[in-house]
Structure 1
Amino acid sequence: MKKKNNRQLFKIRGEISRKAYLITVFATFAAILAFWSLLSYGNMVSATFLPSPGKVWQSFTTNLQDADFWGYVGISAYRVLMGYLLTCLLAIPLGILAGTFKIFEAIIVPVTEFIRYMPATAFIPLIIVWIGLGESAKISVIFVGCFFQMVLMVADNAKSVSGDLLQASYTLGASKIQVLRKVLLPALLPDLMNSMRLIMGWAWSYLVAAELFAASSGLGFMIIRAQRYMQTETIFMAILIIGLLGLLIDRLFALLNKKLFPWAEGGR
């Protein structure tokens, strides 16, 4: 039985129990923490470059009592949310059009493929010239970093809907509008939710870049300020906070996906 279970662990797309999955997840995080502790507490790396977990935790508990810290978390979350919502509002319809109609694919996809390889940070000088240094500029950086990726991902989601399913709808007498509204859109929703979940990760990754210029608040500003004074424990703490916020939102997306589309294959 044990040998059979071992074979299952390394089977391509093989299933493992929920318990084994969770144990593996926690063991991985524990191993990373242990390695970090070994390097820092063992003085293998200078505390200037790698603070100990204890110092990072101390920085975290200290900042929890600071009202400015909660303000930074709030403004960063606001910038990410606004950039993300703007991306969804514009990219999802364009992606569906590009994945459904060849003429829109010819208009949208080649240009989007070209622009998406341009780093979003390269647009920062232009954004400053065009928009200025206010909140709109920071939201725009997140938008530029996410928009072109999302258009292409949504287009792929639309293309992945079975052509046989669409043809069957036409055979049953459905009009083009009915096929779009009652067949295509419902069929792509599970994959669309996964794309939205992935793009949310992109939005958080562009947060620091968005807060690099003329920012006086936010977690990115906190990181830049700490870097000036070599407060690496604060840098680590802020990075981990961004990671935890992103992970929390990711898990909410996964839960929502499972509740709304229980028939679709999803993550754990």
Structure 2
Amino acid sequence: MKKDKTKKYKRYTYLTWLVIILAWFLATHFKLISSQLVPSPLEVVRTFISILKEGYNGTTFWGHAGISLYRLVISSSLALITAIPLGLLSGYFPKFRAIIDSVVQFYRPLPPLAYYTLLILWLGIDESSKVTLLFLAAFAPIYLACVSAVGKINPDFIHNAESLGASKQAVFLTVVLPSCLPEIFTGLRTAVGVAYTTLVSAEMIAATSGIGWMVIDASRYLKSDVMFVGIIIMGLTGLAIDFVLRKLEEKIVFWKGKES
């Protein structure tokens, strides 16, 4: 029933984007906005085709896209395999939370560029510092989602399992982890989005490739068409990644939304 309603209202999504693109086309066609600030849709398409064929600044388009996705996937994967166990343990064991939580809460509100220069000094200008920056950006949302999820578990579930003789480890694996999976996926989707926005910061300094770097480099020379291409690619890539994560969630957390 819910999926039917979603499909029913999809046309509003398509209509919204149609209006946006039409307004963009009309504003540039009638020169209501300077082409240096906002290029026309056709100019953006031509620039994209040119970058596909010739690359940008000596690097192919797929080279730029590939290195950005590499940084994003590696950092998000590392955050996933570390933040989930640490977050669940922090939510389940107060002593463990007392050790980990304050550290995460301390660095979480810090702007990425505030400590990125330190990471460069410690790890160098290669991929290590960039991946570490994105890892830290992605870690906090997943960790906090896990801690929050544990706190929302119905205590009766845990008490019932313990009354049946289940060990702490068994309760953790059979009650805590499955109960937290829906919120873990929400945290993961948020983390990927945060990491993607941080990617631009990571590629602003000491980088010569990547979609984020391409946008920053184009901004220095007022190449608004290249900037639009990079921004649109990042947006579409982000939508594609989120789509994959939602489909994966539907397969793994198949009971979500069916509690009632």
TM-score scaled to structure 2, two decimals? Answer: 0.91
| Separation of aligned partners in 1, 2:172 and 2:40 | 55
| Separation of aligned partners in 2, 1:198 and 1:148 | 10
Deviation of the 1:18 alpha carbon: 3.4
Pairing of 1:20-169 with structure 2 (within 5 A)? 20-66=8-54, 68-169=60-161
Q: Root-mean-square deviation (CA), in Å?
A: 1.8
Could you list the per-position Cα deviations for residues 181-226 of structure 1 after superposition, in whole angstroms to 9, with x for gaps in the alignment? Answer: 1111122122212211221111111111111112111112211221
**Contact 1:190-1:261 within 8 A present in 2 as well:** yes
- Equivalent residue, structure 2, for 1:190: 182
**Contact 2:204-2:213 within 8 A present in 1 as well:** yes
| Separation of aligned partners in 1, 2:142 and 2:103 | 14
Deviation of the 1:104 alpha carbon: 1.7
TM-score scaled to structure 1, two decimals? Answer: 0.88
- Number of positions where the alignment pairs a residue of Structure 1 with one of Structure 2: 253
Query: Which amino acid letter does the alignment assign opposite residue 40 of structure 1?
Result: T
**Contact 2:141-2:187 within 8 A present in 1 as well:** no
> In the superposition, relative to structure 1, how do residues 151 and 18 fare at CA in structure 2: closer, same or farther (>3 Å)?
closer
Query: Which amino acid letter does the alignment assign opposite residue 139 of structure 1?
Result: V
**Contact 2:137-2:191 within 8 A present in 1 as well:** no
Q: Which moved more, 1:159-168 or 1:59-68?
A: 59-68
Deviation of the 1:265 alpha carbon: 2.9
Of the candidates 204, 211, 221, which is equivalent to residue 219 of structure 1?
A: 211
Query: Which amino acid letter does the alignment assign opposite residue 76 of structure 1?
Result: S
- Structure 1: stretches of 5+ with no match in the other structure: 1-13
Q: Which moved more, 1:17-26 or 1:70-79?
A: 17-26
Query: Which amino acid letter does the alignment assign opposite residue 89 of structure 2?
Result: L
SS of structure 1 residue aligned to 2:204: coil
Deviation of the 1:37 alpha carbon: 2.1
Query: Which amino acid letter does the alignment assign opposite residue 241 of structure 2?
Result: I
Could you list the per-position Cα deviations for residues 135-165 of structure 1 after superposition, in whole angstroms to 9, with x for gaps in the alignment? Answer: 1111122112222232212211222222111
| Separation of aligned partners in 2, 1:170 and 1:256 | 31
Does 2:224 correspond to 1:232?
A: yes
- Structure 2: stretches of 5+ with no match in the other structure: none
Deviation of the 1:47 alpha carbon: 0.8
**Contact 2:142-2:184 within 8 A present in 1 as well:** no
Query: Which amino acid letter does the alignment assign opposite residue 179 of structure 2?
Result: A
Could you list the per-position Cα deviations for residues 21-72 of structure 1 after superposition, in whole angstroms to 9, with x for gaps in the alignment? Answer: 2111111111221222232222121111111111111111222223511111
| Separation of aligned partners in 2, 1:58 and 1:251 | 27
| Separation of aligned partners in 1, 2:148 and 2:54 | 45
Could you list the per-position Cα deviations for residues 99-133 of structure 1 after superposition, in whole angstroms to 9, with x for gaps in the alignment? Answer: 11111222222332232111112111111111111
Deviation of the 1:15 alpha carbon: 8.9
**Contact 1:142-1:206 within 8 A present in 2 as well:** yes
**Contact 2:48-2:229 within 8 A present in 1 as well:** yes
Deviation of the 1:76 alpha carbon: 0.6
| Percent identity of equivalent pairs | 36
**Contact 2:43-2:225 within 8 A present in 1 as well:** yes
| Separation of aligned partners in 2, 1:61 and 1:70 | 12
4+ aligned runs moved over 6 Å, structure 1? none
| Separation of aligned partners in 2, 1:179 and 1:31 | 52
| Separation of aligned partners in 2, 1:246 and 1:66 | 24
